[in-house]
């Protein structure tokens, strides 16, 4: 049982970081389906920089910067160039899926994965797991209790109202997405240099989208979103456990449990479990 | 002047093609590319060996996506390459189409089959190789529990699983095999994080050797083996070097040999179409033993494995084939 719980925490950690980053971006009124892409670019950066510098903290810092930059590309496209945020999100995802194997090939000679990082040069996974527990509380406080946080909420729900008080909605969105990207980057760091030992092509494997569904299920609030991530992690850990040891004589079908996060999102969207209201001004240009 | 130059160049070309008459071989790799440390890399290695030993002219093209597979093959054929090697089961449809358009060109299709008479389809008896590494896993397991982690849940990987399980049970009928699959979509080939979780769970339940035919996801299992100080069995190419001392062995699909053999036959003018199913007897599948795992495989284990290997080749042991089982359940009988 303890093993299942430990396993759920390990599975949930990247989801929590991605979902919390997504929370900052979406509450600022920019639809962010590019969490997957940011996870990829940051996981790649963390793995490569750590490999060459032999220092996971350099790798982490570089990943934070790249995460902020990748998300800033998204905010540049949506806020400045006024592109549709879904289209821009897809573009960022595709870019990340293409550019990471390209650079892997340039630096390591093979497009599939970067070289492995020895055990003593990796991040301690536990540190990131604990951080993923503190982060939602911290964000809850920042967003609901401080001026910049309230401005972020305002720009997501009514950018014009914010404008009348003399604050530039565009600037708030730039900052929100920059920070959001850096938060998502922690998920990438966790995947490539804490849990695994290298970057593998497309290693995010849909986690960005699962994080997005956790965000929707958590109704765009940090603490419920956090709990949803833990819940998704728990179902995955259960699945992992029962796949190889039958329960009451039957084995869990893999396909069914893998469907779970998506199924639950669907239920929420259809309105079975309360209605999920996105920020009012989402994907509306200020 | 320009015209006479052109005639001269033409003449030289003609002369060189007459004098050298080197066999031109086109090698069409799939998305993995020649450095994928696995399937494509092995094919490339075989072709390079042929280039050195047999003196062929080799042209290699990597397709960046599945759509460009067919045009690549067609371009090779149009340029008059007599032998075109297509690597990977994703190329099956493309080979079928282009082989029909160019009936005089010879094709080699690796890892899938087609009926065309100018195509040499090479497939591997994965279950035989898996049986062998299963036997070795059971011999080296102290806990009498071993694990299997497949990538995507498809018949080919089920074939690995059935072979592996039979190998384990053959050596130790009491041994328990834990089975897991990373997933049921193509994401399952590149999800090392999930694969590591599965491996940690299996090691935690008592397994001490895990066989992992899971593509790039397998790297996660190697990490888990390193972390828990247990053993892992690699797949497709020799992965013993990935985590030295933690990799018991690797089950090999000798794509390099298959490619080399096909080119050699073509140079001798002995190319034959049809389906070639390479197993232990043909050295198509094997297990790896080198300086990285030498200390893990004791002489007693090695002797036993050799005996099992001979028995499989002599058909004294029948290794169950998942594909045949599928056909049996599919037919109405």
Question: Using one digit for the tens of pLDDT, what is the confidence trace for A152-179?
Answer: 888 888 888 888 888 888 899 999 999 9
pLDDT score of B332 more than 60: no
Q: Does B88 map to a domain?
A: yes
Instruction: Clarify whether residues B186 and B242 are in a common domain.
Output: yes
Q: Is residue B279 within 8 angstroms of chain A, CB to CB?
A: no
Instruction: Clarify whether residues B202 and B308 are in a common domain.
Output: yes
Instruction: Clarify whether residues B274 and B210 are in a common domain.
Output: no
Question: Per the CB < 8 Å rule, is A110 touching B37?
Answer: yes
Residue A16, number of CB atoms within 10 A of its CB: 32
Question: Per the CB < 8 Å rule, is A3 touching B192?
Answer: no
Instruction: Clarify whether residues B220 and B322 are in a common domain.
Output: yes
The class of domain A2-270 in CATH terms is: mainly alpha
Instruction: Clarify whether residues B248 and B259 are in a common domain.
Output: no
Split at pLDDT 50, 70, 90, the class of A206 is confident
Q: Does B78 map to a domain?
A: yes
Structure tokens at A283: 């994907």
Q: Is residue B197 within 8 angstroms of chain A, CB to CB?
A: yes
pLDDT tens-digit map of B48-99: 999 999 989 999 988 777 788 899 999 999 999 999 999 988 899 999 999 9
Q: Does B13 map to a domain?
A: no
pLDDT score of B226 more than 70: yes
**Contact at 8 Å (CB) between A225 and A218?**
yes
Q: Does B140 map to a domain?
A: yes
Query: What sign has the CA pseudo-torsion A165, A171, A176, A179?
Result: negative
Whole-model pTM: value is: 0.81
What is the model's pLDDT at position A21? Answer: 95
**Contact at 8 Å (CB) between B225 and B231?**
yes
pLDDT score of A41 more than 90: yes
Q: Does B241 map to a domain?
A: yes
Shortest Cα distance, chain A CAs vs residue B223, angstroms: 6
Mean pLDDT calculated for residue range A171-200? 92
Q: Which CATH number belongs to the domain containing residue B259 in this structure?
A: 3.40.50.2300
Which of A32-46, A116-130, A250-264, B136-150 has the weakest average pLDDT? A250-264
What is the model's pLDDT at position A239? Answer: 77
Instruction: Clarify whether residues B164 and B192 are in a common domain.
Output: yes
Bigger pLDDT: B172 vs A269: B172
What is the model's pLDDT at position B163? Answer: 95
What is the average pLDDT value for chain A, to the nearest integer? 87
Selecting from A7, A119, A205 the residue whose C-beta is nearest the C-beta of B200 gives A7
pLDDT tens-digit map of B257-281: 999 999 999 998 889 899 999 999 9
Q: Residue B150 sits in which domain range?
A: 126-252+298-330
Helix (H) or strand (E) holding A225: helix A222-244
Q: In chain B, how many domains are there?
A: 2
Q: Does B166 map to a domain?
A: yes
Closest by CA position to A117, among listed B219, B151, B245 = B219
pLDDT tens-digit map of A244-283: 666 556 666 666 766 777 777 677 667 666 666 777 777 6
What is the model's pLDDT at position B40? Answer: 83
Q: What is the ipTM of this complex?
A: 0.80
pLDDT score of B12 more than 80: no
Sheet holding B119-124, edge to edge: B57-62, B24-29, B83-87, B106-110, B119-124, B274-278
Instruction: Clarify whether residues B49 and B60 are in a common domain.
Output: yes
Report the alpha-carbon distance of residue B128 to residue A186 in Å, rounded: 44
Measure CA A140 to chain center. Answer: 17
Closest by CA position to B180, among listed B204, B171, B167, B170 = B204
What is the model's pLDDT at position B7? Answer: 62
Mean pLDDT calculated for residue range B314-332? 78
Q: Which residues of A touch B (CB under 8 A)?
A: 3, 7, 10-11, 14, 105, 109-113, 116, 119, 191, 195-198, 200-203, 205-206, 236-237, 240-241, 243-245, 254-255, 258
Instruction: Clarify whether residues B242 and B147 are in a common domain.
Output: yes
Instruction: Clarify whether residues B63 and B184 are in a common domain.
Output: no
Query: What sign has the CA pseudo-torsion B39, B42, B44, B46?
Result: negative
Structure tokens at B215: 């593509």
Structure tokens at B108: 């080699």
pLDDT tens-digit map of B290-309: 999 988 999 999 999 999 99
Question: Considering just the CA atoms, what is the radius of gyration of chain B in Å?
Answer: 22
Instruction: Clarify whether residues B151 and B107 are in a common domain.
Output: no
Selecting from A119, A206, A240 the residue whose C-beta is nearest the C-beta of B187 gives A206
What is the model's pLDDT at position A272? Answer: 63
pLDDT score of B10 more than 60: no
Counting Cβ atoms within 10 Å, is residue B144 exposed (0-12), middle (13-18) or buried (19+)? middle
Helix (H, G, I), strand (E, B) or coil at B207: coil
Q: Does B314 map to a domain?
A: yes
What is the model's pLDDT at position B265? Answer: 92
Instruction: Clarify whether residues B85 and B228 are in a common domain.
Output: no
Report the alpha-carbon distance of residue B179 to residue B210 in Å, rounded: 9
Split at pLDDT 50, 70, 90, the class of B18 is very low
Residues with Cβ within 8 Å of residue A73, at least 6 apart in sequence:
A92, A95
Q: Does B181 map to a domain?
A: yes
Instruction: Clarify whether residues B88 and B201 are in a common domain.
Output: no
Mean pLDDT calculated for residue range B14-30? 71
A180-199 burial, b for 16+ CB within 10 Å, e for fewer? bbbbbbbbbbbbbbbbbbbb
B39, B189, B197, B228: best mutation site toward chain A, by most A Cβ within 10 Å?
Answer: B197
């Amino acid at each position: 049982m303890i093993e299942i719980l430990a396993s759920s925490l390990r599975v949930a950690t990247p989801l929590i970081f991605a979902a919390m980053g997504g929370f900052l971006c979406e509450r600022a009124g920019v639809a962010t389906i590019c969490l997957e892409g940011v996870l990829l670019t940051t996981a790649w950066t963390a793995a490569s920089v750590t490999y060459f510098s032999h220092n996971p903290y350099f790798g982490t810092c570089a990943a934070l910067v790249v995460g902020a930059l990748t998300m800033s590309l998204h905010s540049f496209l949506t806020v400045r160039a006024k592109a549709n945020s879904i289209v821009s999100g897809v573009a960022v995802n595709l870019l990340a899926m293409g550019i990471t194997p390209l650079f892997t090939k340039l630096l390591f000679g093979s497009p599939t994965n970067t070289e492995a990082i020895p055990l003593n040069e990796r991040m301690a996974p536990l540190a990131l797991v604990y951080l993923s527990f503190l982060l939602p509380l911290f964000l809850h406080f920042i967003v609901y209790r401080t001026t910049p946080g309230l401005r972020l909420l305002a720009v997501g729900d009514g950018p014009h109202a914010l404008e009348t008080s003399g604050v530039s909605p565009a600037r708030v969105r730039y900052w929100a997405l920059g920070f959001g990207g850096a938060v998502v980057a922690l998920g990438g760091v966790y995947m490539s240099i804490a849990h695994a030992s290298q970057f593998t092509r497309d290693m995010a494997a849909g986690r960005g989208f699962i994080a997005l569904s956790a965000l929707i299920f958590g109704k765009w609030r940090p603490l419920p979103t956090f709990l949803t991530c833990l819940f998704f992690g728990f179902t995955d850990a259960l699945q992992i456990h029962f796949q190889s040891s039958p329960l009451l004589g039957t084995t869990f079908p893999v396909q069914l449990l893998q469907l779970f996060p998506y199924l639950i999102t669907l239920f929420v969207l259809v309105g079975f479990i309360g209605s999920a209201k996105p920020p009012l001004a989402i994907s509306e240009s200020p | 002047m320009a015209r006479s130059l052109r005639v001269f160049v033409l003449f030289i070309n003609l002369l060189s093609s007459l004098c050298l008459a080197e066999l031109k071989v086109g090698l069409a790799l799939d998305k993995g590319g020649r450095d994928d440390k696995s399937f494509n890399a092995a094919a490339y290695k075989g072709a390079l060996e042929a280039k050195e030993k047999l003196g062929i002219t080799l042209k290699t093209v990597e397709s960046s996506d599945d759509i460009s597979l067919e045009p690549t093959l067609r371009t090779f054929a149009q340029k008059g390459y007599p032998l075109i090697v297509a690597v990977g089961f994703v190329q099956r449809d493309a080979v079928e189409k282009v082989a029909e358009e160019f009936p005089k060109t010879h094709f080699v299709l690796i890892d899938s089959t087609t009926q065309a008479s100018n195509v040499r389809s090479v497939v591997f008896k994965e279950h035989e190789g898996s049986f062998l590494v299963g036997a070795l896993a059971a011999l080296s397991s102290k806990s009498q529990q071993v694990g299997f982690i497949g990538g995507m849940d498809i018949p080919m990987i089920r074939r690995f699983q059935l072979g592996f399980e039979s190998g384990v049970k053959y050596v130790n009928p009491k041994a328990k095999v834990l089975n897991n699959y990373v997933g049921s979509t193509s994401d399952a080939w590149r999800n090392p994080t999930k694969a590591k979780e599965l491996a940690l769970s299996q090691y935690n339940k008592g397994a001490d050797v895990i066989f992992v035919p899971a593509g790039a996801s397998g790297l996660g299992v190697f990490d888990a083996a390193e972390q828990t100080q247990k053993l892992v069995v690699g797949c497709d190419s020799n992965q013993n070097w990935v985590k030295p001392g933690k990799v018991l062995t690797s089950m090999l699909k000798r794509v390099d040999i298959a490619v080399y053999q096909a080119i050699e036959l073509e140079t001798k003018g002995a190319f034959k179409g049809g389906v070639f199913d390479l197993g232990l007897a043909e050295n198509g599948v094997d297990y790896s033993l080198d300086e990285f795992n030498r200390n893990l495989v004791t002489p007693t284990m090695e002797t036993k494995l050799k005996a099992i290997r001979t028995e499989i080749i002599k058909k004294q042991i029948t290794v169950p084939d998942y594909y045949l089982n599928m056909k049996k359940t599919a037919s109405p009988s």
